[in-house]
Amino acid sequence: MEPVTLTTERLCLRVFTPADIDEVFEACQDPDIQRWTTIPSPYARVDAENFVRAMVPAGWRDDSEYTFSVRPREGGPLIAAASLHHPHSGTWEVGYWTAKEHRGRGHMTETVLGLARWAFTDLGCRRLEWRAEVGNTGSRAVAEKAGFTVEGVLRAGLLNKGTLRDVWIGALLPSDLGLPSPLPYLPARS
């Protein structure tokens, strides 16, 4: 797929470019981003270069991961990175990090909802999943504010820095956002 640009009320989501490398490198020096995501730790400038120049374009080209930089709609500093990845049978997964100085302002919830609407309306997504290592309460708060239902814990569900870790998993369905589903859904009865 050719990269697209998405906008929300306050934000612009666009593909990363080489001009973003310095800001990616700086944001990824944050110990929390290194702790809770699968980025390399320590995070070197070559990691930012590889991410922007190789990983992001390959994901778009292969239709395996659509990664966006998140900035204010009117322009400004890098706020975050977010992606839709691991497409499988109509299900996509959302992942994200927010630069430390931009946390707590609702930017990531707005980003996730923008990506979800795009996934449900343009990508044929039937289910959007979120996963985060158990204990990553910031990521969980974003997912819950965006309307995800936390469904449980996957034991050894994430390989991060050579160690299998338990993860929370949650899902968002088109109906959760008032959107039609591409297939009928029959929920289990309690």
In a domain, 48, yes or no: yes
The contacts found for 156-159 with CB under 8 angstroms, 24 or more apart, are 157/131, 158/38, 158/131, 158/133, 159/38
Domains: count for the chain: 1
Cβ neighbour number for residue 155 with a 10 Å cutoff? 10
* Nearest C-alpha neighbor of 131 from the set 173, 96, 170: 170
In a domain, 116, yes or no: yes
Range of the domain at 90: 6-177
In a domain, 144, yes or no: yes
Could you report the per-residue pLDDT of 21-31, keeping only the tens digit for each?
999 999 999 99
In a domain, 183, yes or no: no
In a domain, 110, yes or no: yes
Rounded to 5 degrees, φ, ψ at 71 are: -135, 165
Using an 8 Å Cβ cutoff, are 91 and 34 in contact? no
In a domain, 55, yes or no: yes
Domain of residue 168, CATH code: 3.40.630.30
Could you report the per-residue pLDDT of 94-110, keeping only the tens digit for each?
999 999 999 999 999 99
In a domain, 147, yes or no: yes
Could you report the per-residue pLDDT of 53-89, keeping only the tens digit for each?
999 999 999 999 999 999 999 999 999 999 999 889 9
In a domain, 50, yes or no: yes
Average pLDDT (109-115) is 98
Residue 32 — very low, low, confident or very high, per pLDDT cuts 50/70/90? very high
Residue 159: per-residue pLDDT = 96
